[in-house]
Chain A
Amino acid sequence: MAVKANIDSGRWGDPYLDLSTYTADADLMELNMGPQHPSTHGVFRVVLWLDGETIVKAVPHPGYLHRGVEKLCEKLTYVQITPIVDKNDYVAPMLNEQAVNMAVEQLMGIEVPRRARWLRTLLAELQRVASHLLWLGTFGIDLGGALGGGTSLFMYCFRERELIMDLFEGLTGSRFHYNTHTVGGNRHDVPAGWAEQVKQVLTFIERHIDEYVAVLDHPIFEQRTMNVGVIDAELALGLGLTGPVLRASGVDHDLRRDAPYHAYDEIDFKVPIAHGGDCYARYEVRVAEMRESIRMARDLIDGLPEGPLVGARPIKTPVQVKIKSGQAYVALETPRGELGTYVIAGGDNRNASPYRFKIRPPSLHSVSALPWVLPGHQVSDVVAILGSLDPIMGEVDR
């Protein structure tokens, strides 16, 4: 079997290693990491078995943030779900809202007007830049001393991220959980002067991305990330990884281009990929994506078409959205990968709530790669690998 051959040859780690028959060179030590650990990006626990300083087995334990979101959404009406799913992937809430509303629109057969589709694309790309900036800043903290005390990069990245938060606050009135998407379109129209502000912010960020790359063009950073946490294409596809992690393994797959939604079939963009599969390749892909998203956002704000923002008659009360039966699966490309939302209509709440609501989070699949990747690495590499996968625990545990 190919999996066993890959494990035996040392290409992949063995998640099912039997420790009772394992003979250690040094002392075998069990090390608990988390659930409260500054570099686990939330509450996440990994149990590591160490042979000396080398990891021989890793077992992840998620579930410290399980909030029963899917069950909660089945009790709410379709319009009430939108602000709930904001809190799933709390680094990219815009994309969560879009996924839910697109699923409901697909079930009801509503066509979204062109202006709303372009605005959604713009918001998605701005959110992608903000999410990657947060990732880069916290990755700097994770790698710590390699980057001048660690927090320097964090401070720089958050300076730019705050500007995008300001843009969203200007549009929706909220810094964080926006609730700006609704069934059939968008709730908030672009205020006066917002487009100019977006362009200024994009220019500012684009200039400073070059600075981060210059800061990270450093031998210590390369030693900490190159050939660390290699996920090859076979393993990535086998585990269902998506997004930048998959593209860093050399697989050219992006839902924005391969299954276009919103306005992605109307604009030109490139999908950056890398072939290393290691932490450095994931860093390269994310930085290239930031640049590409900024370019796309500039095109989108220039070409934002005129017209209405809501297609069907506007939804005034939550119970106006009623679906008798049907099911829909919508997949979006979030900053972390494919976010799937599966809705079966026909709940008992007068057809106004779903019967089943399922979220396919990309972070859960990223975390599932840990037992395959960690064995063979040192303890200090765990932080780099976990950081480079960019998991969001709200999404993993739901």
Chain B
Amino acid sequence: MAVDDPGRSYSHPLFDTLERFPGLDLATTTADKLLNWGARNSLWIFPMATSCCGIEFMASAASRVDFDRMGSFTRATPRQADVMVVAGTITVKMAPRVKRLWDQMPEPKWCVAMGSCAISGDFYRDIYSVIPGIDTVIPVDVYVPGCPPNPEALMAGLLVLQEKIALKTAGLKTVPAGRPETAKMISPRIKRVGHPDRMPEIDAAQCAQAMSLDLTEPPDLLAAFTAAQAAAKAAREAAEAAAADAAAADEKGGEA
């Protein structure tokens, strides 16, 4: 039965309707093919553009490359989009917002990591404020390497995504999206994510810190700072008073 098929990634109301009519089960496979054909040829994109890659994303949407030709269309709200293109560096401050926007997108949805910052953090990966790759926050389907990738490369990435969706519809096994290996590259001082030398607990802690940020009630840093200052001042004064007492006691002892 198509509805209980665990391999299918989502459910849609058409199947539930068709299921009520006996003898129409055969039609559901055809409907599934039809709907997936439509889905893969009209991938509406939500650009999660933060930095340089956003400019190349705009160039991809503009007149020369123009991914409108493939039915891909830029939408400014996650609620109308199928694909999230993460273009640019994602910081610790931005990651919870990206997660929230991803959660707002309706199923089925896909994610394209565009550019080396979104893939691995690139040379910002050991900076305190940068997330080492967006796949530590949300699942990624296609990686488009480059700094930034040319518009043609992003186009190729979208075609790969279409192919991937088509294979999934046909019931074929898709090649799992792996992190692109950079050949002949000097090994960075801090290893890439997933490397055993990378100390995964640090990555986990950084991401946990990012995800645990409370968006509604930001921490009152000023109050904490004032309290810490007051405590330090009190401690200093106590120490000074103790030193003064000790000095006075010494003087008394000397006089005696």
Contacts and interface: CB of A to CB of B under 8 A. Distances in A.
Contact of B51 (A68, A84, A162, A394): A394
Contact of B101 (A36, A90, A176): A36
A137 B58 CA distance: 10
B50 A42 contact: yes
B111 interface: no
Interface string B32-57: 00000000000000001111101110
B214 to A, nearest CB: 15
A215 to B, nearest CB: 15
A387 B232 CA distance: 46
Contacts of B55: 90-91, 134, 176
Given A42-B49, A66-B91, A393-B51, A84 B63 contact: no
Given A35-B94, A68-B129, A90 B89 contact: no
Contact of A65 (B63, B76, B94, B147): B94
A270 B128 CA distance: 45
B130 A67 contact: yes
A66 B129 contact: yes
Contacts, number: 86
B62 A72 contact: no
Given A35-B94, A38-B76, A43-B94, A68 B128 contact: yes
Contact of B124 (A67, A134, A156): A67
A64 B56 contact: no
A19 B111 CA distance: 42
Size category, A interface: 20 to 34
Interface in B200-221: none
B148 interface: yes
A158 interface: yes
B195 interface: no
Interface string A123-156: 0000000000010011000000000000000111
A377 interface: no
Contacts of A394: 51-52
A36 B62 CA distance: 21
Contacts of A165: 59
B127 A68 contact: yes
Contacts of B49: 42
Interface string A83-119: 0100100110000000000000000000000000000
A71 B127 contact: yes
Contacts of A84: 123
A162 B64 contact: yes
Interface in A143-198: 154-156, 158-159, 161-162, 165, 175-177
B94 A64 contact: yes
Nearest to B51: A394
A87 to B, nearest CB: 6
Given A72-B124, A159-B63, A66 B50 contact: no
A165 B63 CA distance: 14
Given A159-B62, A162-B64, A36 B51 contact: no
A64 B48 CA distance: 13
Contact of B89 (A38, A65, A134, A138): A65
Interface in A62-77: 63-68, 71-72
A91 B148 CA distance: 12
A158 B64 CA distance: 8
B94 A155 contact: no
B198 interface: no
B51 A176 contact: no
Contacts of A91: 55
Interface in A23-39: 35-36, 38
B97 interface: yes
Contact of B48 (A36, A71, A162): A36
A87 B129 contact: no
A34 to B, nearest CB: 9
Contacts of A155: 62-63
B226 to A, nearest CB: 20
A63 B130 CA distance: 12
Contacts of B97: 35-36, 64
Contacts of A137: 62
B44 to A, nearest CB: 14
B184 to A, nearest CB: 17
A72 B76 CA distance: 33
A338 B180 CA distance: 39
A63 B93 contact: yes
Contact of B129 (A43, A67, A158, A176): A67
A154 B58 CA distance: 9
Interface in A268-294: none
Interface in B112-167: 123-124, 127-130, 147-148, 150
A84 to B, nearest CB: 7
Nearest to A141: B58
Nearest to A42: B50
Contact of B127 (A42, A72, A87, A138): A72
B210 to A, nearest CB: 12
Nearest to A87: B52
A67 B48 contact: no
Contacts of A36: 48, 97, 101
Interface of A: 35-36, 38, 42-43, 63-68, 71-72, 84, 87, 90-91, 134, 137-138, 154-156, 158-159, 161-162, 165, 175-177, 393-394
Interface of B: 48-52, 54-56, 58-59, 62-64, 76, 88-89, 91, 93-94, 97, 101, 123-124, 127-130, 147-148, 150
Given A42-B50, A66-B129, 4 more contacts: A68-B130, A134-B55, A158-B64, A177-B52
6 contacts: A43-B50, A43-B94, A65-B94, A84-B123, A134-B55, A394-B51
